[in-house]
Amino acid sequence: MVSIRNYGDSRGMKLRVSSIEFEPAYLNLFRTGELEERVRIAYERLDHCDLCARYCGVNRRATIKGAVCRTGEQALVSSYHAHFGEEAPLVGNGGSGTIFFAWCNLRCQFCQNYEISQLGEGIAVEPEEIAAMMLRLQANGCHNINLVSPSHVVAQILAATLIAAQAGLRLPLVYNTGGYDSPEALALLDGVIDIYMPDIKYADAIIARRYSTVHDYPTISRAAVKEMHRQVGDLELDHRGIAIRGLLVRHLVLPGDLAGTREILNFLAHEISTNTYINVMDQYYPCFKASEHPELNCRITSEEFDRVIGWAKEFSLNRLDKRISFRRA
């Protein structure tokens, strides 16, 4: 375990943002004792795990055999640092304080971070060590704590947040997820997470099964995004354009419209909010096992991406992230 430096007691402390005072949601639960109770419940759920939508039921405190995430009681972390390649409202001048968790509850055949998500490159850490990472990122001037691939380590994240809050953490938490999250996990995160950043990968269940090995992804991801939006609402920015609370959705455009992008944008406009902040990503490139699927073994074209932007405008979705790479065929 790593001993944590004393950064001060967070009780009663607020981070001043512009002319208003911002306080991350988890501090209220910390003061009332509810955050500690959430940690207890989350670890109990690890005994018959339902903390992601796989519902594997494995006792992850005893074994990882049968657990799709291949993660037991300890989380694995690949790296943590200030990230300047994330969405504009997360980055600002100080960067987004990302913590990359190893393994994943999805099996995306084209994953661009497959060394981490599919090969498990990382080291096992205790919650105290994750808390220390959070505090170091805060001390280094990051605008938020960005939890990457968190769906299978909800219990460990809650425990780390409790420790870090006691030691002075007061940055917003970003839940940067593949979108395959269980309602049980989201209930535990209600009032803890400030910014939800889910992927919506697919509109079609058959496509999801083929490329990420989950048959019910569209149903699960849409329910999760609805619940996330209920908890935090549309994305709110401070005077600097830095996100402090709300929903930010990512969608990766796949070649040949395999993702069903038009249907996903229609869902966001009509069932979430036309004010949804969306990063429509054009940076797909064949990676990992994409070469085994000829339809995935190519880049998207300019025409394909321009059509997507047209669909967003058609549905009055105007809050699109401006950091478009234009890396197309």
Tokens of 127: 């919650």
Amino acid 22: pLDDT: 87
pLDDT reading at 191 higher than 70 = yes
CA angle 214, 220, 221 (to 5 degrees): 100
List, for residues 19-30, the tens digit of each pLDDT value: 357 899 999 999
Amino acid 33: pLDDT: 98
Q: What integer is the mean pLDDT of 72-93?
A: 97
Cα-based distances in Å from 193 to 130, 199, 244, 246:
16, 16, 11, 9
Cα-based distances in Å from 261 to 68, 133, 193, 208:
27, 36, 27, 13
Instruction: Could you list the beta-strand ranges (E) of 236-304.
Output: 236-237, 243-252, 277-281
Cα gap 164→127, rounded to integer Å: 9
CA 101 to chain centre: 11
pLDDT reading at 304 higher than 60 = yes
Residues 6+ apart with CB under 8 A from 126: 1, 2, 74
Q: Where are the domains of the chain?
A: 15-45+73-314
Quote the percentage of the chain above a pLDDT of 90.
89
Q: What integer is the mean pLDDT of 78-97?
A: 97
Q: Could you tell me if 106 and 92 are in contact, meaning their C-beta atoms sit under 8 angstroms apart?
A: no
Cα-based distances in Å from 85 to 88, 97, 245, 266, 268:
8, 11, 19, 27, 24
Strand partners, 173: 145
Amino acid 109: pLDDT: 95
Q: Could you tell me if 103 and 69 are in contact, meaning their C-beta atoms sit under 8 angstroms apart?
A: yes
pTM: 0.92
Amino acid 66: pLDDT: 83
Amino acid 322: pLDDT: 78
Amino acid 289: pLDDT: 93
Q: Which residue has the tokens 């939006």?
A: 229
Amino acid 3: pLDDT: 32
Q: What integer is the mean pLDDT of 302-314?
A: 97
Tell me what the pLDDT averaged over the chain comes to.
Answer: 92
Amino acid 136: pLDDT: 98
Confidence band, pLDDT 50/70/90 cuts, at residue 312: very high
pLDDT reading at 216 higher than 90 = yes
Query: Which is nearest to 320 in space by CA: 290, 278, 289?
Result: 278
CATH number of this structure's domain 15-45+73-314: 3.20.20.70
Q: What integer is the mean pLDDT of 67-82?
A: 96
Tokens of 16: 């001043």
Amino acid 323: pLDDT: 63
Q: What integer is the mean pLDDT of 284-294?
A: 94
pLDDT reading at 1 higher than 60 = no
Amino acid 213: pLDDT: 95
List, for residues 118-159, the tens digit of each pLDDT value: 999 999 999 999 999 999 999 999 999 999 999 999 999 999
Annotate 191-202 with b (16+ C-beta within 10 A) or e (fewer): bbbbbbbbbbbb
List, for residues 156-172, the tens digit of each pLDDT value: 999 999 999 999 999 99
Residue 66 or 272, more confident: 272
